Amino acid sequence: MAFSFTVTHNDTESRARTGLLKLPHAEVETPAFMPVGTLGVVKAVAPETIWEIGYRLILSNAYHLYLRPGHELIEDHGGLGRFMNWPGAILTDSGGFQVFSLAKLRKLNDKGVIFQSHIDGSTHLFTPELSLAVQEALGVDIIMCLDDVRAYPASKTDATDAVKRTFAWAARTVDSKKKVDPALFGIVQGSMYPDLRRLSAEGLTSLEFDGYAIGGLSVGEPHELMVEIIDATTPYLPEHKPRYLMGVGKPLDILESTIRGVDLFDCVLPTRNARNANLFTSSGRLNIRNSRYRDDHGPVDSDCGCVLCRNYSRAYLRHLFKENEILGLTLATVHNLSFYYQLMSDIRAAIRENRVNSLLKQYSSRTEEIND
C-alpha cells in the first residue's frame, strides 16, 4: 500500500480536521496518538496488547536502535516490524531530539553531529544521510529528517542557525532517499520565533515532503507560548498533508493542538506516568500509591473498559505497586494507553460533529492536568 493522506472532515468552528492516513502496514484515522516504543518496545506491554487496544501506528527511535542492537541486525531480521512482532505501521524519529538531549556528549556542525554513545562512550558521526540509511534499513513506514533542535530559551541568532541547518539537512536527506515506500517528513524548527517558524515551514514545503512535523517544542517553554507557536506554524503547512506535533502529549495540549490543525502526536507521558503510578482517568489524575486507595474496591476509572478497569480494583493495583510487582506496571500502562486511545476517538467524533471546541471546554472543566 502506497502512502497517502486524505482529509475526511473539516470542523466548522476551528482548524481541526479528521483524516485517513494510508501506510504500507496500516491505515490510521487521524487525529491519532502514537505510543512511544523507543527501543522497539512500548515499555511494559507486548505489541499484541498495543494492537488489541486499537493502535495501528507506533514510534521508535533511529538513534537508539542504531547504537543497539544495530540497524544491520534488524534489517537482517526482516525489518523492525518483524523483529518486534508488530503488524502495524512504524514512524521513526531521526535522533535529532536525542542528540539534543545529550548535549554534553556531542558537537554539532554543518556536516552532522559528532557524539559519544551514552552506552559505551564510543564516538560516532551521525549525518542526515546516515540517519536516513538507518531508518530505511529498519523498514519503517514514516522516516523523519535529522534536524537541529535548540533548547529553550534560544537566542534568535541560534534559532536562525538551527533553521538554516535543518533545511540544509532536509535537502540532503531528500537527495539521498533510495527507497520509495517509506514516507519522508520534514521538521519545522525556529524555537519561539513565529517569523522563523514561517521561514522554516516555507523552506521545507518547497522540498515537497510527504508530511510535516513541528519540532522543538515541549523543551521547557511556558504552555501559552507553545500554543502560540503551534498556532503560528500550522497555517504555513499544506492542507493536504499530515501535520505531526513531536513530543507533545498532555491531553489538553492534544486538544488545543488539534483545534489548530495538528493530525499526529507522540509522547512518553502515558507510559512513563503509568510506571510511576500516575493514571489518567475521566475525572482527572489518580496516584494509585495514595493511602486512600488501600481498601478501595472500585475500578481505577468506571468509565474505562480496559483490562485493568474491568477486572481489578484500585486496592489491588496499589498493592502491586507497593510490592514492586511487574504486573502493576503492565496494567497501569495498558490503562493509560487505553485512555489515550479513547481520547483520540472522542476527538475525532467531536470534529465530525463540529463540536470540538465544546469538547475542549468540557474536558478542561472536568479534568486536572498532570504536571510532569
Residue 368 has pLDDT above 70, yes or no: no
pLDDT for the residue numbered 367: 57
pTM check: above 0.75: yes
Structure confidence by residue, pLDDT tens digits, 14-48:
999 999 999 999 999 999 999 999 999 999 999 99
Note the pLDDT of residue 371: 36
CB 61 within 8 A of CB 98: yes
pLDDT at 346 over 90: yes
Q: pLDDT tens-digit profile of 310-332?
A: 999 999 999 999 999 999 999 99
Greater confidence, 172 or 372? 172
Q: What is the mean pLDDT of residues 357-370?
A: 75
- Tell me the three state secondary structure of residue 339: helix
pLDDT at 370: 41
Convert the pLDDT of each residue in 99-111 to its tens digit: 777 667 788 899 9
Q: Which of 148, 263, 266, 301 is catalytic?
A: 266
What residues form DSSP beta bridges with 91? 59, 142
Catalytic residue among 93, 141, 148, 253: 93
Minimum mean pLDDT range among 57-66, 118-127, 191-200, 299-308: 118-127
pLDDT higher at 180 or 314: 314
Matching residue, cell 503547512:
237
pLDDT above 70 coverage of the chain, percent: 97
Measured CA distances, 160 to 124, 165, 227, 303, 348 (Å): 26, 9, 20, 47, 36
High-pLDDT (> 90) share of the chain, %: 88
Whether 93 is catalytic: yes
Instruction: Give the containing element (helix H, strand E) for 274.
Output: helix 269-275
pLDDT at 369: 47
Beta bridge partners of 210: none
DSSP state of 235: G
**Cα 154 to Cα 3, 191, 209, distances in angstroms:** 36, 7, 27
Domain span(s) for CATH 3.20.20.105 in the chain: 4-267
Q: Which residues are paired to 191 by β-bridges?
A: none
Instruction: Answer positive or negative: Cα dihedral of 254, 90, 47, 54.
Output: positive
Q: Taking CA 50 as the corner, what is the angle to CA 3 and CA 299, rounded to the nearest 5 degrees?
A: 140
pLDDT computed for residue 2 by the predictor: 85
Q: DSSP class of residue 36?
A: B
Tell me the DSSP string of 119-180. Answer: TT--EEEE-HHHHHHHHHHHT-SEEE-------SS--HHHHHHHHHHHHHHHHHHHHH---S
CATH of 4-267, one of 1.20.120.1200, 3.40.50.11540, 3.90.1150.10, 3.20.20.105: 3.20.20.105
Question: How many residues in the chain?
Answer: 372
Geometric angle at alpha carbon 40, from 36 and 43, rounded to 5°: 55
How many Cα neighbours within 13 Å face the side chain of 323?
Answer: 11
The mean per-residue pLDDT over the stretch 134-142 comes to 97
CA dihedral (141, 146, 147, 148) positive or negative: positive
pLDDT value, residue 364: 84
Average of per-residue pLDDT values in the chain: 95
